[in-house]
Amino acid sequence: MIPVLETERLILREFRESDFAAYADFFATDRSSFYTGPCDRVTAWRKFAVYPGHWALKGFGPWALEEKETGAFVGLSGLWEPEGWPEPEITWALMNGATGKGYASEAADRARRYAFETMGWTRIISCIAPENIPSIRVAERLGAVCEGDVTFPYGTARLYRHRAPDGNAEASSAKAETRR
């Protein structure tokens, strides 16, 4: 059910139980604060299990990022629209030791292309905490434009609007069209 996508250096695939140790390690650190962490392993497991559940309920979701060279689980990126979100989103997070390599931009760009080209979406956003400078840089590298602040279930974030890979602005403002 979950398609496997590739980039030059990454495989975007389903989450596996073997990915959990790195995920729990990430959530044990302050690096996870923009993902509602830090937290204990039990809470991290619940957060981890949300991703396959999102795929099952919505037909899309975040992918686990596997480094082609080593086979290591290095993060997540993909499509995300939990209850209370303003619109469908591209999300990303890199596990400990995987930052600074361009993986977030590479994976998020692949997810963006999938959303527009395969799913037929016309609008997609990223909600980023104003203090999360590395994620803001990823959004800007992808050509996303900040439209201001938005309030959603976890507080206030900056809403970045992504453009289709061809650079065209979204075709419609109707939220219903963003879903498929």
CA distances in angstroms from 44 to 39, 47, 92, 129, listed in the order given:
6, 5, 16, 20
Enclosing domain of residue 27: 5-178
φ, ψ dihedrals at 148, nearest 5°: 120, -165
Look up residue 121 and give its two tokens. 């979406």
Q: Kindly report the average pLDDT of the chain as a whole number.
A: 92
What is the pLDDT, as a whole number, of residue 23?
Answer: 98
φ, ψ dihedrals at 119, nearest 5°: -85, -15
Helix (H, G, I), strand (E, B) or coil at 86: coil
Q: How confident is the model at residue 168 (pLDDT cuts 50, 70, 90)?
A: low
Tally the domains of the chain.
Answer: 1
Q: Report the predicted TM-score, pTM, of the whole model to 2 decimal places.
A: 0.91
CATH code of the domain covering residue 65: 3.40.630.30
Distance CA 73, CA 12 (A): 10
Q: Residue 178: is its pLDDT beyond 60? A: no
Task: Using the CB atoms, write b or e for 149-173: b if 16+ within 10 Å.
Answer: ebeeeeeebbbbbbbbeeeeebeee
146-167 pLDDT tens trace: 999 999 877 899 999 999 988 7
Distance CA 170, CA 97 (A): 35
What is the pLDDT, as a whole number, of residue 70?
Answer: 98
DSSP label of 165: T
Answer whether 99's CB lies under 8 Å from 114's CB. no
Answer whether 171's CB lies under 8 Å from 116's CB. no
53-107 pLDDT tens trace: 999 999 999 999 999 999 999 999 999 999 988 999 999 999 999 999 999 999 9
Look up residue 137 and give its two tokens. 């840089």
What is the pLDDT, as a whole number, of residue 175?
Answer: 33
